[in-house]
Structure 1
Amino acid sequence: MWKTAIKLLAIVFFGQITSAQVIPDCGSAVPICSNTPINGGTNGYGSDDFNGASSSGCLERTTSGSIESNSAWYHFRTSAAGQLGFNIGHDSSEDWDYALYQTSNCSVLGDPIRCNFFDNSDGKSFIGVGEDPTGDTDSVHYEDWLQVNPGEDYYLFINNFSNVNSGFSIQFTGDIWSTNPTDALDCSIVNNLLGSPIAACDGDVVALDATTAGAISYEWYTDTGSGFTLIGGAVGPILSVSGSATYRVVVATSSGSVVSDVLAVFSPIPTTSPIGDEVFCHTTGMVFDLSLKDAEAMGAQDPNEVRVSYHTSLSDANLGTHPMDKQYAKTVGQETVYVRTTSLISPDCFDTSESFILDAVATPELSFPDSFTICEDTTGYEIGETMPNPSYTYVWSTGETSPSISVTEAGTYTLTVTNSSNGVNCIMDRTVSVAVSSTPVISVDVEFENLSPTNRVTIDNEVDGEFEYRIDDGPYQTSPVFNEVLPGSHTVTARDIYGCGEVVENFVVVGFSPIFSPNGDVLNETWHVDGLSVLDSPIVTIYDRYGKLLWQMTEFSPGWDGSFNGMPLPSTDYWFKLSYLDDTGNRIYAKYLQSHFSLRR
């Protein structure tokens, strides 16, 4: 639909009508009220309002030798408090500057409170205060918003530096127009029977009201650039107009005639081209770039003259409120997006006739891990999606079409999940690595440290995998090394962390010297085993390399002196075994303790 009502905030196209609404001197500044005046092209300047100064704020002398060059002055007064800004639209090939003064007296301008003198080498179409209507948040041609209060007078000086111009337009902006859409600017400064210049949209009908007390007759004239001509039949106090022109009324009264002119400009209304629906695959945190639809909506229209915004309701689109972020955080599902194409020059002229469907199809999210370890003797282990979506299709690399499958062998298995909707297939796949874990096969290595009461114990595992270990009833640890293990009989438990099996082994820790020397020097004369007292009925038997029994000792026996039947034995290595009674009273040999020692003479 098209908006046809005229608001206080309005703008008109530059370069459409040559008018007299350009005042080169501050003292005769054009008053701005319910509609913004236009410039049909400036030429030169009047008296020097800066009295020969070389600068005013950011403004400097132009090619004219003065600060002013093809200049225009405007005056407005605030009647409400809030945020106020303005856009000055112009041809992108031209260089325009401005300065804004807060004063009620042109002879005491002071320094401008907002000023911009940047050249237009970047080819921009707008300068001003607040925000660039094209959405360029980094434009150097814009100054900060004004925070205004009621009753403040401002003079706006617009200057053309390049000395080549096709005119400009002014559009007021800011939150003040939301809170005070009809009285943000004080209209009492306009002293004209027909009021201030009028901005409207093509198709609007505007009533010009010249009602005057004591009027005898009314005559209406129109000027589209070739001089005023009488409008036949227009003899009443109100004239309805729908075309761009300067209109004049002549009111005859008993005391003479009152003549009043007003400029009315009707701007084209943008048209929105038909827009195709969008269906896309959605993932968590994904955004949809709505700006990709801008060109489609604008069609052949100049993007420097039309802005596209998107809204979740037709009401918001018509009001121009709550635009959707161009980087739109779309959730899964369908929604209707309402499109508003707005004239950048005259934002009251817009079209909201088009909408499109934005359909975000969920890309499947998989909740199962990508690796599993199964036991070697398993009869089947289930992998895959345990909470499937009945709307999705599931296909495994094995050819199976169920959300999950049972596996018994190591390997890689890939599941492809598809969500199909409105001709779009949203796919997610995951490859699962399956490993087989075996029951541990262990041996115990005790590092004896020369009669030390404690020793280092290392568990050797012949099977690859992920295991953990503990001694006796101690805590499990992933390291197979245990330090400072006390003398005595112990158990070591090794288990697979996936629960595929465990083994328990017994071992004994004692201390003994790896070398002894029965040579009569009283030092290290006998070989013995330390820690036997913690065992039940321990017996140590000593052998030569051929397995001949040489000596047998208990916990109460003296150490071996290196002799057999009273005869000294030669220097060489000897072996020993340790046996003891277990918890059931059976004599057993200590595993992993069939070790040797050396006799040195």
Structure 2
Amino acid sequence: MVDITFGAGAAQISDPFPPGITTLNYAYEGCPNDGDYTITNKMDFCYTNDWHKLVKDHTGDPGGRFMVINADYQPSTFFRQQIDGLCGGTTYEFASWVMNLVTLTERNPDITFSLEKPDGTVLQSFNTGEIMPTATPTWKQYPFYFTMPQGITSVVIRMSNNGLGGQGNDLALDDITFRPAGPGIDVSFKDQPGKEITVCQPASDKVTLVAKTDNCILTNNISFQWQQSIDGGTTWVNVSGATQSTRALSLLGVGTYLYRTLVAGDNNTEIVSCRVISDVLTVHVVPATVSSVSIVSSTTTTCQNTPVTFTATPVNPGPAPVYQWQINGVNAGTNSATFSPGNLADNDKVTCILTGENTCSPPATSNSITIGVISPIKKVTVSSTANTICKNEPVTYVAAVDATTTNLTYSWQINGVSTGNTTPTFTSTSLANNNVVSCTVTATIAACSAPIGITATAPAITVQDPAVITLPVTTYTIDEGSSVKIDAAVNVPGATYSWTPATGLNRAEVLNPIALPLKTTSYTLTVTTPGGCTTISQPVTVQVIKNFIVSPNTFTPNADGVNDTWNVAGLADYPNCTVDIYGRNGRQVFHSIGYSKPWDGLADGQLLPVGTYYYVIDLKNGVKPYAGYVSLL
């Protein structure tokens, strides 16, 4: 009805309003003065210290024009237009986009939107209030809604500036509109989502159009008129009798149909100024053609692991068909008209399912092709002596082969890397946790040009780390009759312990036993993890220092068989001790490491004379050497 966008174009200045539209004067060039207006696509050169610089309209179009108003010294009307052919009971929207041009001023625009009878009687008005300045150019729409009284068909719409010009009160306008304001219309298909559907001929009679309106129109008599277009929306024709909010479609031919509904009050759907128009619904009617598909193969007999190529030939597939290949009824391959599996088994059956773009045709299944596969190797399995081991524990794998030939070769891999082993068994002591051992068995037969190989894989191995034993001290020294706690630590919770020998320990099955040996003893600790991995520690020695007493201090080496040697009790416990004996003149007459052969009173093979001799005994246990006198009688 009224849609003044001020146009767009490369030319900066547009033509003025016709006479009677505004009381302002048109500025054809330069900057508009007080009481002037211009229509332009750029205003970046006037009053640059006071006005915003505008280079595009409110839509962002750099060529879009807008109206620039330098306010008159007195309140004025800058837009007025009479509109005829209106309908009573219909709600209309009177709106415009407005910008305060002045960046900082004491006078701001204050606009009144009014609707009047042609005789000047005001029916209703709306005041924007003071439009405050903004730091950057800012457009804002001010809409005004009005329900036309019954019996009135013509109104005058007016936009007036309530402020004074001279300094400030300058503004820009864009897109002045006056149009029916409602109701809001939501159109859809009954029981079908979306605004566009495809149906099959002749099932189009199952399509129902549905329109729902809000309460914008203040009348109890809302009217509908459905329209149809068969030329893409260029021409619209009323659907006969389609005057309700729902419409079931009759049988349609193949093609594309657009539908919309007109909504107005009091049966005014044929009056352009009194109605609103819904969005468009699209119905595609397609023929109910039937799709089919057939397949052929490059061969029906192949060698094991040798690809066979299958090719599908569709009938009525549409522009973007979908192919789903199947082996024995299980989906395989990709969406392609060809399929080349390389792992077929003997008597496998291959088919293809075609789903065309034509939704009126159900998916089509092809013929089935059975493939014969020459398989010298029927099956390969790999077994192991254990699936869970301790680190560095040996594991042996065995490849069992069901084959029709003995001309076989073997290749073992760890995590896909060759080990170099080419025998039916493979043993390793260096597997890591989660290593995967596999074996590829290859057969060579005359019927197949290339060797045929099958790879079998054992379950991933679980490798447990043994316990780590920490011994802060490996040698303890105690006095005879004393005890000591053996200090040890293990990094695995829940382990079991065993000290050997158990002699002299309060408990052999604990980590830190108390040791009270009668003589120097070396102990070792065996730790067993919950997974059964064992670790043996280095020896821990508890050295016992006995209460050493040199006795006797006399002997008689006269060969009577009684007391012929100097026997010192306890030296047998000190195999590294030294015994030295000196004469009165300081000459060494005896020296021994260990005391396995007691002194018999001889020196250099000669019996020494009766007398007193000086001895020094060093037990080599960190204790001060023992010294004293022994008498030879």
Structure 1-normalised TM-score? 0.30
Q: RCO higher in 1 or 2 (8 Å CA, sep ≥ 6)?
A: 1
- Which structure would you say has the larger Rg? 2
